[in-house]
């Protein structure tokens, strides 16, 4: 049981480049979300999804796109990387009926934009 | 006022000490309360969850919820260097459509041998 798998673990991008961060879960969870984690800022919600074909914006969506074509996968796309997007990106999932029991997080992608 | 307030620390204690970590919140609709532990360069992992008010104990860890004061706590007894991590509180309501956790910013704990 792998849980939530994020790839890559580390990435360095040049300003203006685009890339996709991958997130996959094998728990048949309806809810998936992307957070960025910056020192002193806590977790900030970027985008989330409550099922295949359904996505919505969180607190800080600008510069990011998501799609959810399957229950298992929820990729996050950076359209044109900027230094302000240097951060740790965390993917999380849960059952929408058992969110009170907490999310399962991936191990994160550490992104540096130069 | 933010929905969830958590002292960021850092908090440094000697090995064997009792540690108290706390969060306050403003939304009376919150019913489920969680504590996550996050080691450096890792994702958060769920440590404990509690429904409504009361205490829950798991080994050296005790979670307390006081809904009347909108205050939750995590106590760590006989703290160990392996407890050094950032601890995040999180909470959520129980109504239909409640799937969005609200997180505190986290408290960084160091347990010194």
pLDDT score for B1: 63
Helices (H) and strands (E) in chain B, counts: 0, 11
pLDDT score for B97: 67
Q: What residues form DSSP beta bridges with B39?
A: none
CA distance A77 to A59: 16
A64 touches chain B (CB under 8 A): no
Among A7, A31, A103, A106, the residue to mutate for chain B (most B Cβ within 10 A) = A103
* Gyration radius of chain B over CA positions: 14
* pLDDT tens per residue, range A62-103: 999 999 999 999 999 999 999 999 999 999 999 987 777 889
Q: Which residue of B has its CA nearest to A4?
A: B43
* pLDDT tens per residue, range A4-36: 999 999 999 999 999 999 999 999 999 999 999
DSSP notation for A34-87: EEEEETTTEEEEEEEEEETTEEEE-S--TTEEE--SSSSB--EEESS--GGG-E
User: How far is the first Cα of chain A from the last one, in angstroms, to the nearest whole number?
Assistant: 36
pLDDT score for B96: 65
């Amino acid at each position: 049981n792998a849980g939530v798998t994020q790839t890559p673990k580390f990435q360095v991008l040049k300003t203006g480049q685009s890339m996709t961060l991958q997130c996959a879960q094998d728990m048949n969870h309806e809810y998936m979300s992307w957070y960025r984690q910056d020192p002193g800022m806590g977790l900030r919600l970027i985008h989330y999804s409550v099922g295949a074909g359904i996505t919505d914006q969180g607190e800080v969506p600008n510069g990011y796109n998501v799609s959810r074509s399957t229950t298992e996968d929820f990729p996050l796309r950076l359209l044109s990387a900027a230094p302000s997007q240097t951060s740790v990106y965390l993917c999380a999932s849960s059952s929408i009926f058992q969110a009170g029991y907490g999310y399962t997080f991936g191990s994160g992608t550490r992104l540096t934009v130069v | 006022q933010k929905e969830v307030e958590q002292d960021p620390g850092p908090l440094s204690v000697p090995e064997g000490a009792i540690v108290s970590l706390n969060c306050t919140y403003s939304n009376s609709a919150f019913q489920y309360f969680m504590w996550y532990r996050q080691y450096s360069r890792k994702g958060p992992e769920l440590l404990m969850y509690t429904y409504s008010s009361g205490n829950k104990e798991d080994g050296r860890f005790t979670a307390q919820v006081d809904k009347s004061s909108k205050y939750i706590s995590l106590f760590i007894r006989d703290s160990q260097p392996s407890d050094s991590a950032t601890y995040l509180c999180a909470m959520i309501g129980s109504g239909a459509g409640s799937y969005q956790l609200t997180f505190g910013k986290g408290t960084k704990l160091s347990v010194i041998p």
